[in-house]
Homo-oligomer: A and B are copies of this chain.
Amino acid sequence: MSNKNKFDIEHLGAPKYKSPMELGKEPGDQLFDFINESNRLVFDLSVDHFHHCLSTGVQPDCMEMAGPREDLFFDAKNVTAAIVTCGGLCPGINNVIRGVVMALHYFYGVKRIIGVPYGYEGLNPEKGHELVELTPEKVNNIHQFGGTFLGSSRGGQDVEIMVDTLEANNVDMLFAIGGDGTLKGVNAIGEEIGRRNAKISVVGIPKTIDNDIDLIDESFGFETAFDVASPILRDAHNEATGAYNGISIIKLMGRDSGFIAASAALAMPVVNFVLIPEMHFSLDGERGFLKALEHRLEQKKHAVIVVAEGAGQHLFQEREEVKDASGNVQHQDIGVFLKEQISAYFKSKETPVTIKYIDPSYIVRCAPANSSDSVYCSRLAYHAVHGAMAGKTKFVASRVNNKYVYIPISEVTKKRKKIDLEDELWFSVLQSTGQPFFLS
C-alpha cells in the first residue's frame, strides 16, 4: 500500500541540519524521543472503517504526529521567524504568541523573531505599521491578558505584497494565528512562496472562538468562551426568576456553528431553550418556538433562552447578505429580533412578561485563557514551531482524537465544522434543557 494520503504535509525540501535539542532516540532512556516521520495516526476510529480498509485494501487516512524532529530543514540559530494574528479576538492568542516565542528562543536558539502588527495589514508596508521585535522578556507576562499583544485586523492584503515583505525581512517561517479566512490567506501566501521557490514555511494555528474549524477536536479559546459565558447564564437565570414571567435572552457567539451556545447551556443547566444556526425553527405554529415558550412560562413563570448569533437567519424578511472585511457574512441581530417577536407575541396574548436581552460577546472573546486553554495553547505553539523547523509548510498544528497532529491547511478549510443535529452533543443539549426536539 502507498503511504500517500490527503493528510500528508508539504515540505520545503530535504532536511539539512541536526536539531539542537538533546532528546532521546529510543524507548526506555527516560527521555522524550524525536518523532519519527513514519509514526502516523488513523483519523477514523470506527471499527467499520477498519473493516472497510481491510476488505478493500485501501489505506486508512492517517495524520502526522506532531513533535520535534531530529532532522531540520532550517539552521535554527540563523532563523528569522514572524508571527501574525488576524481576525476577531479569542481567549488564548497571547498564550500562543508567548509559546511560539519561547519555543523558538529556548528550544532552538532562534535569535530574531518579528511580530507583525495588526494582522495581515502589518505585512503591507502601505499601511504604515512597523514590525516589532519579540523577545522572551517582552512576552513573559502576556498570557495573563486577553486580546492580542500584536494587534489584529480583519480581511486580507495582496498576497504578493505580503510575500515581498516576508522576503524583504528575510523571514524563514511565518506563524499565522487566525480563523478560516486567515488560514486560507496563509495558504495562499504559501502557494505564492512556492511559485517563487522561496524557502519560507507557513504555519497556521487555528483560532476561532466559534470552534468551527473542521476535523480538529476543538479550537483554542473555545473552552474559555463557554467557561466565561457560564456564570453569565447563571445570573441571567436569576434575572428571569426575579420577575413574573421573566425571560432572559442571552446571545452568544456562533455565526455558523452553535458550539458555544450548546456547551454553555450544558455547563450551566438553567437554560430552557438553545437556538443554533444548524437548526431550522419556526416562531409560529402549534409546534413553533413561541408556543413552546408560552407553555414553559405557564409551567414555571420564567424562561432562559440562549441564542447563537447566527441562528434563525431564515426568519428575517430581508435576505441581502452583508459581508464584513474578513468575508464573513454579517448577520442580522437575532437577539434583538427575538426580543421584539416575543414581546409582540405576549402583548397580543395580553400576558405580562419581562424580557432582558444580554449580549456578552465582547466580554467573552477578550477574556484571558482559562487553564485548560492555556495548556492547550502552549502545546499548540510548541508543535507549530517543531513542524516549521522541520521544513513543513502549509499546515496547521492541532489536536485530533485527543492527539497532537499536523494537518494540511487545505483539509481543515474545506468546510466549517457544525453541530450535527443527529449527534450526541446536540442530544445532550436537548436532554439537559428539556426543549422539544423540533420547533417547527
Interface residues of A, Cβ cutoff 8 Å to B: 22-24, 27-33, 39-42, 45-48, 50, 53-54, 60, 62, 67, 89, 98, 102-103, 106-107, 117-118, 121, 129, 141, 143-148, 151-153, 217, 223, 226-227, 229-230, 232, 234-239, 241-244, 246, 248, 263-264, 266-269, 356, 358-360, 362-363, 365-368, 370-372, 374-375, 378-379, 382, 401-404, 421-424, 426-428, 430-432, 434, 437-438
A-B contact sample (16 more), CB < 8 A, given A98-B269, A236-B362, A263-B371: A30-B438, A42-B47, A42-B50, A50-B53, A144-B234, A147-B235, A147-B241, A151-B241, A152-B243, A223-B371, A227-B370, A227-B371, A232-B363, A269-B378, A363-B363, A382-B431
B147 and A239 form a contact (CB under 8 A): yes
Q: How far is the CA of A241 from the CA of B117 in the complex (A)?
A: 11
User: Looking at the complex, which one of B264, B372, B378, B401 makes contact with A227 (CB distance below 8 Å)?
Assistant: B372
A370 touches B367 (CB 8 A): no
Contact indicator A243/B39 (Cβ below 8 Å): no
Contact B372 A267 (CB under 8 A): yes
From B230, B235, B269, B437, give the contact of A31 (CB < 8 A).
B437
| Residues of chain B lying within 8 A (CB to CB) of residue A223 | 371-372
Contacts of A146 in B (CB 8 A): 235, 238
Contact of A42 among B42, B121, B371 (CB under 8 A): B42
Q: Give Cα A22–Cα B374 distance, bound, in whole angstroms.
A: 40
Give the Cβ gap from A155 to chain B, nearest Cβ, in Å.
Answer: 12
Complex A-B, nearest 4 residue pairs according to Cβ-Cβ distance, in ascending order: A147-B238, A32-B427, A267-B371, A227-B371
Q: How far is B374's CA from A263's CA once the two chains are assembled, in angstroms? A: 10
- Known contacts: A118-B244, A401-B401. The answer to whether A41 contacts B46 by CB under 8 A is yes
Q: Evaluate whether A371 and B107 lie within 8 angstroms (CB atoms) in the complex, with A144-B144, A363-B232 already known.
A: no
Given contacts A89-B242, A145-B238, A268-B371, contact A30 B67 (CB under 8 A): no
Across the interface, name the chain B residue whose C-beta is closest to A147.
Answer: B238
Closest CB-CB distance, A59 to chain B, in whole Å? 8
Asked if A428 and B45 make an inter-chain contact with CB atoms under 8 angstroms apart, the answer reads no
Min Cβ gap A62→B in Å is 5
Q: How far is the CB of A123 from chain B (nearest CB, A)?
A: 14
Distance in angstroms between the alpha carbons of A217 and B363 in the assembled complex: 31
B41→A268 contact, CB < 8 A: no
Chain B residue contacts of A268, Cβ below 8 A: 371, 374
Q: Can you identify 23 A-B contacts, CB atoms within 8 angstroms? A: A24-B422, A30-B422, A32-B424, A39-B46, A41-B46, A42-B46, A50-B62, A102-B432, A103-B431, A107-B431, A143-B269, A147-B241, A151-B243, A151-B246, A152-B242, A227-B372, A235-B368, A238-B366, A264-B371, A266-B379, A378-B428, A379-B424, A401-B402
